[in-house]
Amino acid sequence: MSQNSLPAHGRPGTDAANGEDQSTWDAKGFYNKLAPTKKPKTPNPQNAITIAVSSRALFRMEEEQKIYEEHGVEEYVKYQLEHEDEPFEPGAAFPFVKALEAVNARLRELYPESEELFDVVLMTNHHAQVGVRLINTINHYNLFIERFCMTGGRSLIGYLKAYHTNLYLSSDSGKVGEALGEGIAAATIFSPDKVVEVSDTQLRVAFDGDAVLFSDESEQIVKAHGLDRFFEHEKEHENSPLAHGPLKGFLEALGKLQKKFYAKGQRLECPIRTYLVTARSAASSGARALKTLRSWGLETDEALFLAGAPKGPLLEKIRPHIFFDDQMFHVEGATEMGTVSAHVPYGVAQRYKKSATKKEPAGGK
């Protein structure tokens, strides 16, 4: 992705009066006002909803990654040490993480002793010496991230499992594929191509259906036999729930937290809102999707059946903090309209990749 493709904080500008980067100060002021001044106790991983985020998903590290790729690890570490007092700029996952913290703040108000909270873990396979700059950056933005894993080139899989990870976001599609292969919900995150302001009080998460929340059973029918047979198949199996997909567990975790707000009479003021955004047609194949969620005891706040129409324009209206889809075509369409999007490389659609897969993830290649 080009330098013009930035996350929600916008492109840097300069204050002519004092030479300061004005957008950096604006971003700092915006994000800092959302964070608690006193950092609360970290929840037990076994009780929390653990969100693992790579350093290049959370922060913009294109320049550093270029040094690593062109000059190797020693020059990379040297550069990081020389610049460790300079905070990174917010990356694609930053607004999502801030929204998680906003939900936690509300949960702590209602349930002061509960550990059923979001717990963000920073994951990187880079050298531990880079950790000082990451810590400085986290403190700069007053983020509540206490758990770090810096593995020095080793696989993250064992650590993701040890932390009971509910969702792993990375800019490295290879690591995401490895995590999915081990049964861990994961996605490759992409920065939007333009700035769209998102809510600072309500976490909004949008999911595709097939091969994301559900299995790829129906997509296999489409690929093998075409749409007409797909519609027949869905009608025949309308009352047979689809098998679960890789992110079903994450939606389940979100629903569990939503019910804590409902129990306090705050359904209308709930700071979590979920969306099903699917290319399915409501009349011909929508019922099975909704009945599948019902059979799981789950629901989304909104269900949007687009019958093959582009998802980007609708997502621009919803303004989710993140949108998950298994097809890069939809991921690209969403990022072009300003939505932070995450590719879930799962299911039969991955065998039919088109040129859209050349799009760079957040933080560079």
Q: How far apart are CA 320 and CA 205, in angstroms?
A: 5
Closest CA to 104 of 266, 272, 263, 252: 272
Q: What are the residues whose beta carbons fall under 8 Å from the beta carbon of 120, sequence distance 6 or more?
A: 50, 51, 52, 53, 97, 100, 101, 143, 144, 145, 147
Phi first, then psi: what are they for 252, rounded to 5°? -60, -40
Q: Are 198 and 204 in contact (CB under 8 A)?
A: yes
What residues are labeled active site? 208
Tokens of 189: 């995150």
